[in-house]
Amino acid sequence: MLITEILEKNAKLYPNDVALVEIKPENMPKKHMTWREYSLIETTPGQSYRKEMTWKEFDTKANRFANLLLTRGVKKGDKVAILLMNCLDWLPIYFGILKTGALAVPMNYRYTAEEIKYCAELADASVLVFGPEFTGRVEQIVDDLKDVRTFFYVGNDVPPYADSYDIMTNYCSSIAPAVEVCENDNAAIYFSSGTTGFPKAILHSHTALYSSCRTEQNHHSQSRDDVFLCIPPLYHTGAKMHWFGSLLSGSKAVLLRGVSPEWILRAVSDEHVSIVWLLVPWAQDILDAIDSGEINLEDYRLSQWRLMHIGAQPVPPSLIKRWKTVFPNHQYDTNYGLSESIGPGAVHLGVENEHKVGAIGKAGFLWEAKIVDENGDEVENGNVGELILKGPGVMKCYYNNTKATNEILKGDWLYTGDMAMADEDGFIFLVDRKKDVIISGGENLYPVQIEDYLRANDKIKDVAVIGLPDKRLGEIAAAVIELKEGEECTEQEIEDFCKDMPRYKRPRKIIFADVPRNPTGKIEKPKLREIYGASRLVESQNKS
């Protein structure tokens, strides 16, 4: 089955039911009014506080864009890049591309002009769909994008080199195009997070997209009555593939354009949200706002909120313990995956396994998982090895990069580069990224373990442990610590806090600074190593 067929089914079964809601909280003029009330008093075109789209409108928009692409010569196998902030048109554009048999190529909204050019060329994109936030960046490279023959602009004030998506689609047929698309056909190119350099292009089939729908709904039991709050960017597999559970169940989803504790809780309250996927920093911010009195839970209707789940990064057990104290009736879950495995769900904790918080879980629905040594042999429980995955969501390849493909795909197995271990019950715990392991004086140090320990300190908001060069030990563990607002702390306090850790695991350098994370919540450790590594090398050399 194709995910475009699921959309068409929903349009027939629930034509007038709301599929998507877009909320722009920064436009709220009065705090005591709900977003729905704001939408009724809109006076300025394009400045709605709340917009919604039915399943029928969703499918119609997708068909119109598909037919527009076909009139511009787009054919099966072509690549259409999407460079948009989360908005109501994002998903209809994505599905419209798939209906033509072309490949959707979502791009990170943080890309620089040079990165946009690099990724467009890497993916062989012939069409670029972009919004007003990216006009300046696109203008820098428009003359250099030789293979991009068509630009569609979503918004007002259309640049002279682009066509208006809004105007042009109005003149196109709303009937689905007669293009034969098969499950094994190529469907989309996603990009790796780029935390180790320029991104790689990840090629996925229609089979992978559909399998992620099945995995997500199996894990979180979405029904027609559920409402999913989507906050992370849709260009990433994490947000979209969690939404795929809503697609399969025909239930409503809310796109919240902005992140703050108040905005999240108001969206949950006003839109009757039942499922929220958070990143670790957002969950921490909500709890901190409640603790400080900035947020009063009695101001919100939250009884329908049944599930809070987290992914994209290791989750501190102390955070979930704190969350369950504040929200004792919430189910909690975590998922693990990569863009190379069509996003979350390859490994899954399960709401019934809260007693195993800290683990990422076991192989997800339709997936297999193993932990292997350097020879590819499975290790015994309790031993550290590399996590490998097998399932219908494994990428076909890194597009135009055979060498990188052969390094990560071995037979049917995807080698994740994540070091992990399983406990006596078979639950998998992430230890660290293979490339992030610190070798200090011959001992392997796993930063995630040290980070989890430090996060139990009430003064710490976020922490990243990195390896820095050292003349005697080769590397030492350095802890970059971001304190909670208003908190003060000294290096001595951190050293005292770590006294119960084995001596060789204790961080030898403490740095109080912000911890940078990318839009999907991953700590940007290469950036930290670049910032602090050079100065440490000079310091180490000077000591000699």
Q: What's the pLDDT score for residue 540?
A: 46
What's the CA gap between 244 and 50, in Å, rounded? Answer: 22
What's the CA gap between 228 and 230, in Å, rounded? Answer: 6
Residues 344 and 309: beta-carbon distance below 8 Å? no
| C-alpha 471: how far from chain center | 38
The neighbouring-strand residues paired with 215 are: none
The neighbouring-strand residues paired with 283 are: none
Residues 344 and 335: beta-carbon distance below 8 Å? yes
CA distances from 264 to 37, 124, 254, 496 (A): 17, 38, 11, 36
Residues 319 and 218: beta-carbon distance below 8 Å? no
Looking at residue 61, its amino acid is K
CATH domain 437-543 topology: GMP Synthetase; Chain A, domain 3 (3.30.300)
Mean of pLDDT over the chain: 89
Phi, psi of 446 (to 5 degrees): -105, 105
> Which residues lie closer than 8 Å to 99 by C-beta, 6 or more apart?
4, 62, 63, 66, 176, 177, 179, 181
> Which residues lie closer than 8 Å to 2 by C-beta, 6 or more apart?
98, 181, 183, 206, 209, 210
Q: What's the pLDDT score for residue 542?
A: 45
What's the CA gap between 411 and 417, in Å, rounded? Answer: 16
Residues 338 and 394: beta-carbon distance below 8 Å? no
Report the candidate in 474, 478, 472 with the shortest Cα–Cα distance to residue 498. Answer: 478
Q: What is the DSSP letter of 25?
A: G
What's the CA gap between 217 and 249, in Å, rounded? Answer: 8
What's the CA gap between 372 and 381, in Å, rounded? Answer: 11
Looking at residue 340, its amino acid is E
Could you read off the pLDDT tens digit of each residue along the chain, which spans 544 residues? 999 999 999 999 999 999 999 998 876 655 556 655 655 554 444 556 889 999 999 999 999 999 999 999 999 999 999 999 999 999 999 999 999 999 999 998 888 899 899 999 999 999 999 999 999 999 999 999 999 999 999 999 999 999 999 999 999 999 999 999 999 999 999 998 654 457 899 999 999 999 999 999 999 999 999 999 999 899 988 889 999 999 999 999 999 998 899 999 999 999 999 999 998 878 988 999 999 999 999 999 999 999 999 876 667 788 899 999 999 999 999 999 989 999 889 999 999 998 998 899 999 999 999 999 999 999 999 999 999 999 999 999 999 999 999 999 999 999 998 889 999 999 999 886 667 778 776 667 878 888 888 988 989 999 999 888 876 677 889 999 999 988 999 999 999 999 988 787 899 999 999 998 876 667 888 788 888 875 554 454 444 4
Taking the alpha carbons of 239, 240, 242, 247 in that order, is the dihedral positive or negative? positive
Indicate the pTM of the whole model.
0.83
What's the CA gap between 18 and 57, in Å, rounded? Answer: 9
List, edge to edge, every strand of the sheet that includes 343-348: 50-54, 18-23, 252-256, 227-230, 275-278, 307-310, 331-338, 343-348, 362-363
Q: What is the DSSP letter of 78?
A: -
CA distances from 162 to 54, 61, 127, 128, 153 (A): 28, 19, 11, 9, 6
Q: What string of DSSP letters covers 419-464?
A: EEEE-TT--EEEEEEGGG-EEETTEEE-HHHHHHHHTTSTTEEEEE
> Which residues lie closer than 8 Å to 269 by C-beta, 6 or more apart?
300, 301, 302
User: Which residue do the tokens 């995807």 mark?
Assistant: 414
**Ranges for all domains in the chain classified under CATH 3.40.50.12780:** 3-213
In terms of CATH architecture, what is 3-213? 3-Layer(aba) Sandwich (3.40)
What's the CA gap between 22 and 268, in Å, rounded? Answer: 13
Q: What is the CA radius of gyration of the chain?
A: 24
Q: What digits encode the pLDDT tens for the residues 426-465? A: 999 988 666 777 877 666 787 888 888 898 898 999 999 9
